[in-house]
Amino acid sequence: MSKKQPNKISTVDEELQRELRRQSQARYRQKQRREQKALEDDVQRLQKEIKAYQQLDFSSLTKVERDIWFIAQEYFRMFRHGFKEPSHEQNARVLTFLQNVTVPDVSDGYFRGAKSLLRNWELFSLYFDDIHVELKSMEKKSESILFATTTTSITISSNTLRLVFPRLNSDERGGVDGGQWSPLAERLKGQRLVMNSSVRFEWDAINKRVVRILSSSDMVTAMLRVLGSLDNVNDVFNGAFVTPDCRLLLQSEYY
């Protein structure tokens, strides 16, 4: 009898292992089904948003429809994922919208005109990956000012290091001449920065158009979470083509 006991234990262990594997596989399949359902829901929602967006005729907006709340909401909806590699049609639609709801010399604090605003979004989307702007709140401070708070999330890519932080390479040109990336660059690469942000819309109540759109994001705090010290953050911003409040520093020929 004692000789058969190990076989019994072995059989029980095997059955237990099979049952554990079965349960694990069942949980995995359930997880896959949930993820697939979530993905399908996201796709359907996105398709509905795209359809609704395509049906909008921005050029026909009346003065009554040019309300600052509506304009701000549309602005965040259009640029919630940046403006990366837009089609010619999409570019034309968004530009038409901006031109119809802003004054001709609308300013972002540095450059003027709807085309410059759009170009800034294109460049920002080229330099950073996986942009996501989440609107948190909007508050009308006065008849002419609407203040919005957002969370802006971006990913630091190889392109970001090369174009925005070229001095982190030993050639100080983003690796154009070879060189070697600094330890700070290696720590930044692939990191997700989540920034508290704000956008200030200044409104011409008489003409029902936006005069200024001023954006600011707390890039310092986001960098500090990744790099661990203000000295490291200061070294990263030294010679960078972005300011601590996340504004691109570019020459006028880009616009």
**66-248: in CATH 3.10.450.50:** yes
Which is it for strands 129-142 and 102-107: parallel, antiparallel or unpaired? unpaired
- Tens of pLDDT, residues 165-201: 999 999 988 888 889 999 999 999 999 999 999 999 9
Tell me what the mean pLDDT of segment 9-28 comes to.
74
Task: Confirm if 180 and 104 have CB atoms less than 8 A apart.
Answer: no
pLDDT score of 4 more than 60: no
Q: Among 7-11, 66-70, 107-111, 213-217, which stretch is predicted with the lowest mean pLDDT?
A: 7-11
pLDDT score of 29 more than 90: no
% of the chain at pLDDT higher than 90: 61
Which residues, 6+ apart, have CB-to-CB distance to 127 below 8 Å? 159, 160, 163, 164, 242, 248
Strand arrangement, sheet containing 192-204: 102-107, 209-217, 192-204, 145-155, 129-142
% of the chain at pLDDT higher than 70: 83
Q: Which single residue is written with the structure tokens 């262990």?
A: 13
- Tens of pLDDT, residues 132-169: 999 999 999 998 999 999 999 999 999 999 999 999 99
One-letter amino acid at 52 equals A
DSSP letter assigned to residue 129 = E
Confidence of residue 66 (pLDDT cuts 50, 70, 90): low
Counting every residue written for the chain, the total comes to 255
One-character DSSP codes across 51-85: HHHHH--GGG--TTT--HHHHHHHHHHHTBTB--S
Q: What pLDDT is attached to residue 1?
A: 46
Q: What is the dihedral of CA 219, 225, 231, 235, to 10 degrees?
A: -50
For the ranges 46-50, 54-58, 88-92, the one whose mean pLDDT is highest: 88-92
Q: What pLDDT is attached to residue 72?
A: 95
Q: What pLDDT is attached to residue 36?
A: 78
Tell me what the mean pLDDT of segment 111-124 comes to.
94
Q: What pLDDT is attached to residue 127?
A: 95
Q: What pLDDT is attached to residue 231?
A: 97
Q: What pLDDT is attached to residue 227?
A: 96
- Tens of pLDDT, residues 194-233: 999 999 999 998 889 999 999 999 999 999 999 999 999 9
Alpha-carbon distances of 179 from 65, 156, 166, 168, 170, rounded to whole Å: 55, 19, 11, 10, 5
More confident residue, 11 or 125: 125
Residue ranges per domain, the chain?
Answer: 12-63, 66-248
Tell me how many degrees the CA angle 222-228-234 measures, rounded to the nearest 5: 75
CA distance 132 to 135: 10
Q: What pLDDT is attached to residue 8?
A: 56
Q: What is the mean pLDDT of the chain?
A: 86
Q: What is the pTM of this model?
A: 0.72
67-90 exposure pattern, b = at least 16 Cβ within 10 A, e = fewer = ebeebbebbbebbeebbeebeeee
